[in-house]
C-alpha cells in the first residue's frame, strides 16, 4: 500500500513539474520568436537570400488595400523601405492594422519584372483587360512607392521600368527588377 502511494505521489510530482516546465518553455519560445522577428530593413537588405523561405518580420503598417484589405504595406526605417504583405489564404487583414506595429509570419516571394512582363502588361492594357488597383491608371500610390515607381500613367510606369532594367543590366548584368513581398501565414497586431 505504501509503495502504491509513493508511485502515485511520484507521478503527481512529475506531472506538476512537467506542467511548470512547459509554461517556462512556452514563454521562452514566445520571447525567442519575438526576438527573431526581423525588421523590414533587414528583410529588404537580405531579400535575395531569403526568397521562398518562411520569415517573421515586424514593422508599422502604413496602408491596407482598399479592395477588401487583402494587402497591407509595412514600413521600415523610412518610407523608401516598404514591403507588401498579401493575405493569401488568410483572406484579409483587419483594418486595425493601419498605424499599428504588426508582426507577420509568412513566405518571402520574389516578383521579377522583365521585358516579357512589361510586354504582357502592355498587351493587357491594349485589350482593356488590365485590372485597375488604386485610382485610375496611375495605380496605388503606396504600391508604386514600395516599388520605387515614378510614372503616373501606365505608359510612364512601363517606361520607368524599362529604364531601370537597362541601368540594372549595365551595372549587374541582370535584365530584370526584383520586387519582394510576403505571403502571410499568420499575423498579429503588436501595438
**Looking at the structure, do residues 89 and 154 belong to the same domain, yes or no?**
yes
**Looking at the structure, do residues 98 and 158 belong to the same domain, yes or no?**
yes
**Looking at the structure, do residues 81 and 55 belong to the same domain, yes or no?**
yes
CA pair distance 147, 110, nearest whole angstrom: 12
**Looking at the structure, do residues 51 and 118 belong to the same domain, yes or no?**
yes
CA pair distance 13, 164, nearest whole angstrom: 67
**Looking at the structure, do residues 98 and 185 belong to the same domain, yes or no?**
yes
Domain that holds residue 77: 38-189
pLDDT tens digits for range 12-61: 343 333 344 433 334 444 444 455 899 999 999 999 999 999 999 999 99
> Cell triple for residue 38?
526581423
* Predicted confidence band of residue 139 (pLDDT cuts 50, 70, 90): low
**Looking at the structure, do residues 129 and 176 belong to the same domain, yes or no?**
yes
- Lowest average pLDDT, out of 7-11, 54-58, 60-64, 87-91, goes to 7-11
Tell me if 61 sits within 8 A of 100, measured CB to CB. Answer: yes
CA nearest to 39, candidates 86, 5, 74, 6: 74
**Looking at the structure, do residues 28 and 102 belong to the same domain, yes or no?**
no
**Looking at the structure, do residues 99 and 130 belong to the same domain, yes or no?**
yes
Angular region, 173: left φ>0, alpha ψ -120 to 50, beta rest: left
| Overall average pLDDT of the 114-141 stretch | 73
- pTM score over 0.75: no
Task: Look at strands 177-189 and 101-113 and give their pairing.
Answer: antiparallel
Number of C-beta neighbours around residue 75 at 10 A: 20
**Looking at the structure, do residues 14 and 43 belong to the same domain, yes or no?**
no
**Looking at the structure, do residues 60 and 104 belong to the same domain, yes or no?**
yes
Q: What angle do CA 81, 85, 86 make, to 5 degrees?
A: 155
Residue 97: exposure state from Cβ atoms within 10 A (0-12, 13-18, ≥19): buried
How many domains, the chain? Answer: 2
CA pair distance 74, 99, nearest whole angstrom: 9
CA nearest to 179, candidates 127, 113, 100: 113
**Looking at the structure, do residues 88 and 167 belong to the same domain, yes or no?**
yes
Amino acid at each position: 500500500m505504501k509503495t502504491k502511494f509513493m508511485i502515485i505521489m511520484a507521478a503527481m510530482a512529475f506531472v506538476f513539474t512537467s506542467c511548470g516546465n512547459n509554461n517556462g518553455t512556452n514563454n521562452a519560445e514566445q520571447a525567442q520568436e519575438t526576438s527573431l522577428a526581423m525588421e523590414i530593413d533587414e528583410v529588404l537588405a537580405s531579400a535575395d537570400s531569403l526568397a521562398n523561405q518562411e520569415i517573421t518580420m515586424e514593422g508599422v503598417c502604413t496602408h491596407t488595400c482598399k479592395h477588401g484589405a487583402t494587402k497591407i504595406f509595412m514600413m521600415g526605417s523610412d518610407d523608401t523601405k516598404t514591403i507588401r504583405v498579401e493575405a493569401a489564404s488568410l483572406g484579409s487583414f483587419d483594418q486595425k492594422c493601419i498605424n499599428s506595429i504588426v508582426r507577420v509570419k509568412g513566405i518571402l516571394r520574389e516578383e521579377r519584372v522583365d521585358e516579357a512582363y512589361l510586354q504582357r502588361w502592355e498587351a493587357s492594357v491594349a485589350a482593356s483587360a488590365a485590372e485597375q488597383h488604386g485610382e485610375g491608371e496611375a495605380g496605388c500610390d503606396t504600391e508604386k512607392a514600395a516599388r520605387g515607381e515614378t510614372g503616373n500613367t501606365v505608359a510612364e510606369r512601363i517606361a520607368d521600368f524599362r529604364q531601370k532594367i537597362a541601368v540594372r543590366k549595365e551595372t549587374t548584368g541582370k535584365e530584370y527588377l526584383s520586387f519582394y513581398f510576403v505571403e502571410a501565414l499568420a499575423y498579429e497586431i503588436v501595438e
